[in-house]
Amino acid sequence: MGMKKGLSIIMISVLTISLIGYGSSEAENGGDSTVENENTPVQTDVTEEINTEPVQDPELTESEQSAAQSGSSSLVVYFSWSGNTENVANAIAEQTGADVFEIVPKEAYIDDYNALLDIATEEKENGARPAIAGNIEDITQYDIIYVGYPNWWSDMPMILYTFFDSYDLSGKTIAPFCTSGGSGLSGTVSSIRELEPEADVLDGLHIGSSAASDPNQAVSDWLESLGFVE
Ligand SMILES: Cc1cc2nc3c(=O)[nH]c(=O)nc-3n(C[C@H](O)[C@H](O)[C@H](O)COP(=O)(O)O)c2cc1C
């Protein structure tokens, strides 16, 4: 057998085998979707997908029902270093039935408060964009996005700028919320309006850090004022 012929036979075999392989995996994928097959190729993309799972409460709250009726869907996105903003985020999610995505830094922040103050100063001075671990699977499905953060040096933590750089929120409604020692929202709502000129950025909610452990009343007053719950 000549060299050329040998090679082309090998190439045809390889092609055929890979076509058969492709065909059978297609059949597996296209078949009964309830059948789990360990051999079915799964996405091996290294980017983490965070599932934003809806609250598993069988009893729909009023706001969930109205959201379902109007076809609108909401997401709470938040960053929290010491848990205050997280408490508020959870209260909003409970009261609205929104999905939740926590902004987790790829490189965790230091546990020491004083050291963090310096790091945050440096990040702000450098216009840093700290990387976010994971991503929001399909942001297009959400109409209302609650965005929460602690006040860091009268501004949002720089990782919030990473978030706004990463997602196109044009046409969406953004409802900001913030916890802080005493500065309130500072200029953060106007910053978000500048970052997302095509979004409807609503008046923000501020809760002081000491009130953040019991945020339910403030949250429901705010949601009511926005017309999101009755
Ligand atoms: C780096 C850093 C900077 C801060 N800067 C301010 C500030 O400028 N004004 C203020 O009122 N509180 C400031 N705080 C306090 C936080 O805003 C407050 O404790 C907040 O509730 C923390 O939220 P968290 O528990 O969700 O991280 C700062 C805290 C940190 C860690």
Determine which residue's CA is closest to atom 3 belonging to ligand 1: 152
86 sits in the region (left: phi over 0; alpha: psi -120 to 50; else beta) called alpha
Q: Is the CB of 209 under 6 A from ligand 1?
A: yes
Q: What is this structure's pTM?
A: 0.75
Determine which residue's CA is closest to atom 8 belonging to ligand 1: 153
At 137, the pLDDT band (50, 70, 90 cuts) reads very high
Q: Is the CB of 188 under 6 A from ligand 1?
A: no
Q: What is the mean pLDDT of the chain?
A: 81
Mean pLDDT of 72-77: 92
Domains belonging to the chain, first-starting first, are 49-225 (3.40.50.360)
Distance between Cα 201 and ligand 1 center (Å): 22
pLDDT digits (tens, 9 = 90+) for 96-134: 999 999 999 999 999 999 999 999 999 999 999 999 999
pLDDT greater than 60 at residue 142: yes
- Angle at the Cα of 108 (from 103 to 113), degrees rounded to 5? 105
pLDDT greater than 50 at residue 164: yes
CA 30 from chain center: how many Å?
Answer: 30
Determine which residue's CA is closest to atom 4 belonging to ligand 1: 152
